[in-house]
């Protein structure tokens, strides 16, 4: 039994029946916690050696409860820790062998309780990453990163490092690339995001310039609230335009 990196009990994956499951059943189990997961994603994780489901004589995949639990850990570590698949695979394999291991931290850690699990307050929780760490997290080369930077999708900070959001953007660009969507296709999305950011900035700018420190502090909270609403509206508009509804 693997220990979940979030430190809590699995809500969806731990209660899976011990019998073997089809990939469709696995998808339904995982979607409670990971609504964005797809059959293509599960197959890709298998091709990368993260899981090894059994095969029927006809070639159909059959997943055990342990396979599903492991899938849950992989998806959780991608979502919460922005780790490359190679690092996740090595970490889970070491856990299964009973070896004491620490999970590297690339990008943000979303849960405040994770620091205790991964070695206490001195464990690394990088809000900034170096170029080599970003390349490793996204599993890309220098040429690809330079291309993304040329399109404005990712930009280094003044000291050459990258903020944690760059890791998130890189992971999403890679995922979209698997569907044939190239970085050059994403320039319109970047431009739209900048327009949205400009609109939010217009609203909160007077608060930031206020003399009262409490009012200036309120600007940060208002920015986060407006950013969240903007993201939700964008998602709803995309779904409406496509005529689909995400779970």
Cα dihedral 93→96→101→104 (10° resolution): 40
Low-confidence ranges of the chain (pLDDT < 50): 4, 6-18, 107-126
- 3-class SS string, 85-115: HHHHHHHHHHHHCCCCCCCCCCCCCCCCCHH
Please state, in angstroms and rounded to a whole number, the distance separating the CA atoms of residues 142 and 121.
Answer: 33
- The model's pTM is 0.51
Give the pair of three-digit tokens for residue 10.
């699995």
Gap between the terminal Cα atoms of the chain: 29
Q: What is the residue extent of each domain of the chain?
A: 23-105, 126-181, 186-247
Q: Which residue, 10, 16, 93, is CA-closest to 51?
A: 93
pLDDT of residue 186: 92
Residue 53: what pLDDT?
A: 93
Least Cα distance to 154 among 178, 192, 183 occurs for 183
Three-class SS state of 12: coil
Q: Please name every residue paired with 129 in a beta bridge, in sequence order, or none if there are none.
A: 162
* Residue-level pLDDT at 127: 59
- Nearest residue to 179 via CA among 41, 50, 61, 71: 41
How many Å apart are CA 2 and CA 96, to the nearest integer?
7
CATH code linked to domain 23-105: 1.10.1660.10
């Amino acid at each position: 039994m693997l220990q979940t990196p979030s430190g809590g009990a699995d809500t969806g994956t731990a209660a899976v029946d011990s019998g073997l499951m089809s990939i469709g059943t696995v998808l339904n189990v995982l979607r409670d916690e990971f609504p964005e997961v797809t059959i293509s994603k599960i197959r890709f994780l298998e091709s990368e050696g993260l899981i090894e489901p059994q095969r029927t004589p006809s070639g159909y995949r059959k997943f055990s409860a342990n396979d599903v639990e492991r899938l849950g850990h992989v998806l959780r570590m991608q979502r919460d820790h922005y780790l490359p698949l190679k690092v996740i695979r090595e970490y889970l394999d070491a856990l299964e062998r009973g070896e004491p291991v620490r999970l590297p931290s690339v990008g943000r850690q979303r849960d405040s309780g994770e620091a205790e699990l991964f070695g206490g307050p001195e464990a690394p929780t990088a809000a900034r990453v170096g170029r080599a760490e970003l390349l490793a997290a996204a599993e890309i080369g220098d040429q690809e990163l330079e291309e993304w930077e040329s399109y404005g999708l990712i930009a280094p900070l003044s000291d050459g490092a990258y903020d944690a959001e760059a890791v998130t953007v890189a992971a999403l660009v890679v995922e979209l690339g698997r569907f044939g969507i190239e970085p050059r296709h994403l320039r319109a999305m970047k431009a739209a995001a900048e327009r949205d950011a400009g609109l939010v900035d217009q609203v909160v700018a007077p608060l930031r310039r206020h003399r009262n420190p409490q009012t200036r502090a309120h600007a940060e909270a208002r920015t986060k609230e407006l950013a969240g609403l903007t993201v939700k509206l964008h998602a709803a508009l995309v779904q409406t335009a496509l005529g689909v509804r995400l779970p």
